[in-house]
């Protein structure tokens, strides 16, 4: 039987248990995929701790790549034998094989290996929608300043490169000098070590006192207030994560006081709700990777059985770029 990593209770990395689970036949609208690799994402931590609640027992993992073994009724865009990859809000990629909704799965171009496929889908599609589908009211054009927190992370390094390709001046924050160097080497126009520097003051200095049009904030609690202070009037706060903890409730009056700001809380899963949107966004991602504008860095690889260590390292901010679990 295929091996998988399952939790039966919310909690720390010790809850991640290796099990063997039967994998049945795909039903209507489903496929069965045999994974070559699974991607590690911070959402897996939220799903493990119970910050995001899913029914238990739960096989974690929202990103993977492998070979389609069987397709269910009504699935026309995939067939047995296809190389494929996905990001999905139906967890289960921490497994050697699984059944899952076909609408989240796309064919993997021949030029992209399985490891890269597993490292790029959830993070790359997130960078795609953040930069292409989340727009400030005054628009976003080449030359504009944006602020991107955790710029040396998985989503961060993809966003740095893609923003540069779009001509944006991305100001990246990261938690060490080495991480800042990495973000800069991947296209960040400016970098700020927010473990040492006042990022609000630095953003003001870099932008000549004006502030940025968009802040992409996945750090959450620790950066929320400072991020609002980095925006120019009518700027957009695009909150999309809580690596430091969830953003506490706030009074909307602060948005007026800081310059008639806009706030949105985004999730990839609204953007990839349909097969058509998923394919369109994936095609855009595959194109920037094929052109060489975005390179997918896999800085950490762990065997599936070492997943608890992978979680510890991710939460301890020891990782950079993408991380995969190998089968």
Residues forming the site for ligand NAP (CB under 6 A): 41-43, 122-123, 126, 150, 152-156, 174-175, 179, 218-219, 222, 240-241, 243-244, 266-268, 314-315, 317, 319
Instruction: Report the 10 Å Cβ neighbour count for 221.
Output: 13
Beta strands in 22-88 (DSSP E): 30-39, 58-59, 63-71, 83-87
Cβ closest to ligand NAP, residue 138 vs residue 315? 315
Evaluate whether 83 touches 67 at the Cβ level (below 8 Å).
yes
Question: Considering the complex, what minimum distance in angstroms separates the CB of residue 240 from ligand NAP?
Answer: 4
Q: In which residue are the tokens 């020891």 written?
A: 318
Cα dihedral 156, 161, 165, 166, rounded to 10, equals 10
Cβ closest to ligand NAP, residue 260 vs residue 264? 264
Question: Shortest Cβ contact with ligand NAP: which residue?
Answer: 153
Question: Considering the complex, what minimum distance in angstroms separates the CB of residue 163 from ligand NAP?
Answer: 15
Cβ closest to ligand NAP, residue 33 vs residue 155? 155
Question: Considering the complex, what minimum distance in angstroms separates the CB of residue 208 from ligand NAP?
Answer: 26
Instruction: Report the 10 Å Cβ neighbour count for 49.
Output: 16
Question: Considering the complex, what minimum distance in angstroms separates the CB of residue 104 from ligand NAP?
Answer: 14
Question: Considering the complex, what minimum distance in angstroms separates the CB of residue 196 from ligand NAP?
Answer: 12
Cβ closest to ligand NAP, residue 102 vs residue 281? 281
- What distance in Å separates the CA atoms of residue 19 and residue 1, rounded to the nearest whole number? 9
Cβ closest to ligand NAP, residue 79 vs residue 196? 196
Q: Is 112 helix (H, G, I), strand (E, B) or coil?
A: coil
Question: Considering the complex, what minimum distance in angstroms separates the CB of residue 217 from ligand NAP?
Answer: 9
Q: Is 37 helix (H, G, I), strand (E, B) or coil?
A: strand
Question: Considering the complex, what minimum distance in angstroms separates the CB of residue 191 from ligand NAP?
Answer: 10
How far, CA to CA in Å, does 100 sit from each of 3, 75, 120, 181, 294? 16, 12, 19, 39, 28
**CB crowding 130-168: b at 16 or more within 10 Å, else e:** bbeebebeeebeeebbbbbbbbbbbbbbbbbbbbbebeb
Question: Considering the complex, what minimum distance in angstroms separates the CB of residue 166 from ligand NAP?
Answer: 19
Cβ closest to ligand NAP, residue 71 vs residue 131? 131
Half-sphere exposure at residue 173, Cβ-oriented, CA atoms within 13 angstroms: 25
Cβ closest to ligand NAP, residue 23 vs residue 160? 160
211 dihedral zone (left: phi>0; alpha: psi -120 to 50; beta): left
- What distance in Å separates the CA atoms of residue 29 and residue 75, rounded to the nearest whole number? 6
User: Can you say how many angstroms the Cα of residue 315 is from the centroid of all Cα atoms in its chain?
Assistant: 15
């Amino acid at each position: 039987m295929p091996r998988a990593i399952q939790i039966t209770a919310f909690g720390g990395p010790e809850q991640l248990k290796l099990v063997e689970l039967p994998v049945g036949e795909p039903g209507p609208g489903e496929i069965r995929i045999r994974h070559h690799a699974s991607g590690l994402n911070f959402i897996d931590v939220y799903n493990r701790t119970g910050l995001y609640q899913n029914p238990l027992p739960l096989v974690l993992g929202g990103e993977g790549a492998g070979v389609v073994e069987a397709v269910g009724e009504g699935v026309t865009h995939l067939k047995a034998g296809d190389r494929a990859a996905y990001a999905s809000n139906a967890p289960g990629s921490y497994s050697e094989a699984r059944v899952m909704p076909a609408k989240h799965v796309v064919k993997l171009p021949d030029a992209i290996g399985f490891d890269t496929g597993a490292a790029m889908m959830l993070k790359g599609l997130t960078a795609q929608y953040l930069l292409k589908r989340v727009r400030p009211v005054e628009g976003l054009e080449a030359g504009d300043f944006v602020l991107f927190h955790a710029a040396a992370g998985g989503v961060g390094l993809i966003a740095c490169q893609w923003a540069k390709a779009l001509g944006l001046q991305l100001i990246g924050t990261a938690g060490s000098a080495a991480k800042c160097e990495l973000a800069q080497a991947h296209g960040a126009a400016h970098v700020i070590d927010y473990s040492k520097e006042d990022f609000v003051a630095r953003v003001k200095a870099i932008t000549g006192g004006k502030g940025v049009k968009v802040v992409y904030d996945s750090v959450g609690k620790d950066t929320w207030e400072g991020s609002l202070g980095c925006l120019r009037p009518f700027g957009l706060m695009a909150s999309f994560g809580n690596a430091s903890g969830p953003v506490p409730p706030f009074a909307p009056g602060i948005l007026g006081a800081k310059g008639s700001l806009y706030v949105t809380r985004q999730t990839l899963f609204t953007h990839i709700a349909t097969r058509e949107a998923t394919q369109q966004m994936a095609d855009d991602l595959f194109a920037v990777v094929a052109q060489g504008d975005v390179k997918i860095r896999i800085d950490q690889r762990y065997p599936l059985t070492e997943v608890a260590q992978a979680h510890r390292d991710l939460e301890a901010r020891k990782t950079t770029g993408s991380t995969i679990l190998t089968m």
